[in-house]
A and B are shown apart, each in its own frame.
Chain A
Amino acid sequence: MRYEAVIGLEIHVELATASKLFCACRVEFGAPPNANTCPVCLGLPGSLPVLNAKAVEHAVKAALALNCRVAAVSKFDRKNYFYPDLPKGYQISQYDLPVASRGLVEVVVGEVTRRVGIRRVHLEDDAGKLVHEGPAQATVAEAVSSLVDYNRAGVPLIEIVSEADLRSPEEARVFLEEVKTLLQYTAVSECKMEEGSLRVDCNISLRPCGQTTYGTPVELKNLGSFRSAQRALAYEIERQAQLLDEAGRVVRETRHWDEARGVSIALREKEEAQDYRYFPDPDLLPMVFDPGWVERMRAALPELPRQRWRRLVESYGLSPYDAGVITASQALADFYEDTVRAGAGAKAAANWVMGELLRYLNAQGTPAGEFPTTPDHLAELLALVEAGRISGTMAKSVFEEMCRTRQAPSQLVQSKGLEQLGDRTELAPVIEQVLAENPGVAADYRAGKEKALGFLVGQVMRKTQGRAHPRLVNQWLAERLRER
């Protein structure tokens, strides 16, 4: 049978704050174990939480960027369960009054534009980290013991829950990229998956094409990247389709994605169904969002990717595809626009940013948002090309050098003598030398073999290490040969 996949996502995003959600401990990746802890985030007896204003602001900004409605009143609830990474025996989260709900994100995959609902955005504190001791390949259950580090406990998170509006693994990946871009644009998170600051769980079910009711959902966890989310979903579709064809049913369960082996594995069933016993946290007061304040936050949002994409197409004349590539990252789009502002042509700048710059960034694995050169330098380089002072080929090597040394392109061109040779008195001796060394080829040309000219031009270029202006060389060589 043919099936349709129904996919919903839960995205946990670490907010970009200096301190934790409910205490002043530093938020810092890679600190020594338990270095950034205090009575509050260790859940020591008697400690009390106090809410970080910045985290609330970030949550509201993210919600607005996701087109959500911000609640009039929002409150914190305790989610009660036992786990060693949870120091208080409960997580401070939000149950029935999240910060925001009913949002919408549009994703474009090929010809399809999918409107993906955002069910809710809520604030919560993160848990600590467990390190399992024992044989290297041991599973959690097999480890002899575990070590707990509460540095991450209390770090502010938002959980973004999408509606089950996605229909393919690719749509899911594109949606994730869109959300990530929005969060980076609004500067609410750095979204570093490798540091765990963005984590994704997927819910996926299949149903026969045409059916409107939902199938049995399976939850996928441990998705280390958007790519692995896409792979895991594709695997899950195959697996569930096979189960449905053979047994007619899928078991509702949570599965762990094993990226190395490319398979999902069922997690052991819990002894009893989870019962989180949510109730309002008496230690924290409600958040009351004044509509005026929310509107000011909305007004203070930066231009979002979709708006920027439209503007780049309309006012710079970029193709929709190029504008899409450039606006996928706010930093890249900023770099691009700054380059144009520094005098570069819109088209040329786009080609360079998408070509040489991205190639360099990918090759070097430069962290997102960091650039090896400046928009001013790139604009200067493009101006040199435009003025014919260096060749396009030469410009690429100047760019490499620019990135490596962080020097201005004009300086590099000058100090390395890379400027294009377009002066007849300088090139005439070289042309003479080439003609003298290749009398046969010159004779061929004169005999009517026009292709022979190309070889001679090549020789001149070689002798000038590529600096000679090829069009001028061509012209002058032809003139010289006609003279005889």
Chain B
Amino acid sequence: MAGKLYRLSAADASRALRAGEFSLEELLSSYLARHEEVEPATRAFITHDAGRARERVRRLSAGWGEKAEKVLAGIPAAIKDNLCTREVATTCGSRMLTGFLPPYDATVVERLQAAGMVLLGKTNLDEFAMGSSTETSAYGATANPWRRGRVPGGSSGGSAAAVAAGQAAYALGSDTGGSVRQPAAFCGLVGLKPTYGRVSRYGLVAYASSLDQVGTITRTVEDSALVLGAIAGHDPLDSTSVAAPVPDYRAALGRRLDGLRLGVPREYLAVALEEGVRRRVEEAISDLERLGAQVGECSLPHSEYALSAYYIIASAEASSNLARYDGIRHGPRAWEEELGAMYRETRRLAFGSEVKRRIMLGTYVLSAGYYDAYYLRAQKVRTLVKRDFSLALERFDALVCPTSPTVAFGLGDRLDDPLTMYAVDVLTIPVNLAGLPAMSVPCGLWEGLPVGLQLIGRPLGEETLITVGHALEQCRPLDPERRGPLYRSGGELGAI
């Protein structure tokens, strides 16, 4: 088998590898060649290390006998650049971490390494994951491979673009307010944000600790089950990780939907949705009903407050999490004579404007006299948002709604108005406030751009999402005519 191996899903590539249809080297070479071809268009990576990947494949090949049992062994992957990788630059898309070489691997990276991952490199993101378009990165924007001039979504836009364009078989992202699901939706991929605590955050550079969760970006639901299975589980290094045993997520693939109850939150269809998004989502819901699911309406009455509560909580936590960037232990430093000036100048020069805006907002809402009115109130509203979900999920096994109100928007379209940009995440944010698992699955194209359907589950209900997502994927393949980025040459791909 020759040529376009990069088009295979991780699971298909794994099966073929094990069947001896091609070698690890051939698979890697396919990805490396594809990277050369399309990276100038996508600009998905901040760090790409072909040499290290080849060395890794050499070592994996040598011990293939035992490694072959691991499904993800030998599969080339990309990691969002806010996950620490030992001795591999980790920038968070910020000048603040220029030159930073973590002395340790994030737990998820360590687990994937143990599962035989071939790490290709680190993908672009909004600076410190603060954004919804991958435009705030200090390393420049990433393009949506589906269409020239469109954003890939964010903040895990580099991971999504890389997987969509065939530069990696799968990727890890992080999701604080939709940062895995929304780019997956914009790039026609499956994005899974697990339950808060299901996957260790150790080594994930914190943006908003109570909302951050590592997630998977894959081409198929099966791949998301594989990757989640490899990274999930209790980690003694993360106090907020849950001890519940990890099920075999692959067993949830191919289950029938008969008897499953799916709720459609009324409020989520009431927001200003793009016509195409509404249409494809409604079609997908009908398909699910046809497949045996019982669909009903439900209500999440506090939804309209979620966005404000989210930005207060996220910014407050961020203002504290980002205080450690002070020019002392790592990163660049402004060479000032006095400490105070060194702090202020280092942080002025090395943080981008969105990061500074959120630090300012977060500092303000925590400062004396404002804490109760903003932070404390937001945390109470969060309780109400969470309660809405609990009530709805008593009646339904999962909720279905759009992932994003729009398909991929234009580069630069929303960059100047923070509020318009923040509103992009209105359908994904409440899920993070409640700590629930959610998945974005492609449910069709609108004017040539992918639309994502969001499935929201009960705490630790990832299997239900996998079952429903997989059923939908089988009945509504996104790109049956093979016109998407995987089937285009570098020159035909979307670029900036």
Contact = CB atoms under 8 A, between A and B. Distances in A.
23 contacts: A39-B104, A42-B329, A43-B329, A45-B84, A45-B100, A45-B102, A46-B102, A46-B203, A80-B323, A82-B343, A88-B323, A89-B322, A277-B319, A277-B320, A277-B367, A279-B316, A279-B320, A279-B375, A282-B208, A282-B210, A282-B317, A283-B206, A284-B239
Interface string A82-113: 10100111100000000000000000000000
Nearest to B208: A282
Contacts of B103: 39, 44
Interface in B312-326: 316-317, 319-320, 322-326
A145 to B, nearest CB: 9
A277 B363 contact: yes
Interface in A38-54: 39, 42-51
Nearest to A146: B339
A377 interface: no
Interface of B: 82-84, 90, 92, 97, 100, 102-104, 106, 201-206, 208-210, 236-240, 316-317, 319-320, 322-326, 328-330, 339, 343, 363, 366-368, 371, 375
A interface, by DSSP: helix, strand, loop or mixed? loop
A49 B106 CA distance: 14
B205 A46 contact: yes
Contact of B201 (A39, A48, A82, A88): A48
A50 B237 contact: yes
B320 A78 contact: yes
Given A45-B205, A50-B237, A80-B366, A89 B317 contact: no
Given A43-B329, A45-B205, 5 more contacts: A48-B202, A48-B239, A80-B323, A89-B324, A283-B206
B240 A285 contact: yes
A82 B330 contact: no
A43 B320 CA distance: 12
A227 B104 CA distance: 46
A279 to B, nearest CB: 6
A39 B104 CA distance: 8
Interface residues of A, number: 28
Contacts of A278: 366
B83 A46 contact: yes
A245 interface: no
A148 interface: yes
Contact of B239 (A44, A51, A275): A51
A279 B377 CA distance: 13
Contacts of A42: 329
A44 B330 contact: yes
A74 to B, nearest CB: 15
A51 B316 CA distance: 23
B26 to A, nearest CB: 34
A87 to B, nearest CB: 7
Nearest to B376: A279
B interface, by DSSP: helix, strand, loop or mixed? loop
Contacts of A78: 320
B238 A48 contact: yes
Contacts of A45: 84, 90, 92, 97, 100, 102, 205-206, 324, 330
Given A48-B202, A277-B367, A282-B317, A43 B324 contact: yes
A50 B330 CA distance: 23
B326 A89 contact: yes
Nearest to B92: A45
7 A-B pairs with the lowest CB-CB distances in the bound complex, closest first: A89-B323, A282-B210, A277-B366, A282-B209, A45-B205, A46-B203, A46-B84
Given A39-B103, A279-B375, A87 B316 contact: no
Contacts of B102: 39, 44-46
A90 B320 contact: yes
B93 to A, nearest CB: 12
Contacts of A285: 239-240
Contact of A80 (B97, B320, B330): B320
A44 B329 contact: yes
Residue picked from A39, A43, A90, A279, most chain B C-beta under 10 Å: A279
